Copies of this chain bind each other. A is one copy, B any other.
Amino acid sequence: MTVAFAPAGITPRQARVLDTMLAAQERLIAGFEGVEADAAAEAAASAGAQEAGEPRRFGDHGWLRPAGGGGRARVIEDGRVFERGGVNVSAVVGERVPPTLAAQHPGTEGRPWFATGVSLVLHPRNPHVPAFHANFRYFEVGATSADAAAEPLAWWFGGGADLTPAYPVTEDVRAFHGALSDWCARHPQADYPAWKAACDAYFTVRHRGEMRGVGGVFFDELTAPADPRHTFHADLACVEDGIATLLPAYLPLVARHRRDAYGERERRWQALRRGRYVEFNLVYDRGTLFGLQTGGHIEAILMSMPPIAGWAFDHQPEPGGPEAAALAFYQPRDWGIAGGDAVADPATTTRRTA
């Protein structure tokens, strides 16, 4: 694929990863727009012609970075299903790797770098449909198009996906984690238990002592040290398979809940949970802070913000209500799917047999 924002002079290998990210963006948006089309058709069928209206689509916003590269932010707002969300691809370059990275990768000092990635965030309107975030990214130091055949001095993939339900349902969480676990099981370099634990730790609102949602997987610096199964192409295949896992992991949850009834109470709780999401993103999320501090494209970075978020002083959910039950989900928990074996879920009395 050729895109207007691709940095000048990228190597074939860099272009190959960028192609992966661009293809992911197309496929993800087709999936999410399909949901909007279904919802539009249902609205037309149930309410008659005057309610028909076009399905909501993702807008298209290209952006260029003065120092090199840019991106394409595809954003939906005020959708029937997705109140706000977006899928962003970027590819950026620099002439000298940042000092903190160079310190971790000796020999890369002062060398050019390249980064590309795809990230998505969806904030559904219905409080019973979980919010969803995923990101896959690639970083490389030292290769230039002048010597395209040479290996970069250092390279790695990172990524992850996490689910943020305001009203978590055990079966949904297990299905989501199960899809991610199945993906990891197909790739020797992937490690679901470790990546699940890393996700729980990363997406924690530390000052609240709670996760923003029910986790998923998170990994960083996936590269190819000595292990021959761990080549660039094997890692790329792992990432591409992870991207392919996103729609089957998430869309069934949307389909299951997007017609659930809700009212002001549920919208208020959703707003408060979104407030926690905002706290995490603005106080702790490394990607957000890095982007804000380095002059990234603000609107693409803050695409992750919810349409509306709320705060209330020392909010205590009604004892015994579904909001109080939700809080128990926002702590690290064994979902009983690691390795496909049945494991007792400490928080419920039900079991899932593999």
Residues of chain B lying within 8 A (CB to CB) of residue A289 = 283
Is B307 in contact with A308, judged by CB distance below 8 angstroms?
no
Task: Mark each residue of chain A from 191 to 235: 1 if its CB lies under 8 Å from any CB of chain B, else 0.
Answer: 000000000000000111000000000000000000000000000
User: Which residues in chain A, 296-319, are within 8 Å of chain B measured between CB atoms?
Assistant: 298-299, 302-303, 305-314
A352 at the interface (CB under 8 A from B): no
Is B313 in contact with A86, judged by CB distance below 8 angstroms?
yes
A263 at the interface (CB under 8 A from B): no
A75 at the interface (CB under 8 A from B): yes
Residues of chain B lying within 8 A (CB to CB) of residue A295 = 207
A59 CB, min distance to chain B CBs, angstroms: 7
Residues of chain B lying within 8 A (CB to CB) of residue A298 = 207-208
User: Which residues in chain A, 30-71, are within 8 Å of chain B measured between CB atoms?
Assistant: 59, 61
Contact of A313 among B59, B279, B283, B306 (CB under 8 A): B59
A130 at the interface (CB under 8 A from B): no
Please, how many residues of chain A have a CB less than 8 angstroms from a CB on the other chain?
34
User: Which residues in chain A, 125-147, are within 8 Å of chain B measured between CB atoms?
Assistant: none
CA distance A112 to B142 in the complex (A): 50
Closest to A288 in B: B283
CA distance A309 to B207 in the complex (A): 20
A305 CB, min distance to chain B CBs, angstroms: 4
Is B306 in contact with A302, judged by CB distance below 8 angstroms?
no
Closest to A294 in B: B207
Contact of A305 among B207, B208, B293, B311 (CB under 8 A): B311
Given contacts A271-B308, A314-B61, is CB(A282)–CB(B292) below 8 Å? no
Is B308 in contact with A310, judged by CB distance below 8 angstroms?
yes
A278 at the interface (CB under 8 A from B): yes
For A207, A208, A279, A282, which residue has the most chain B Cβ atoms within 10 angstroms? A207
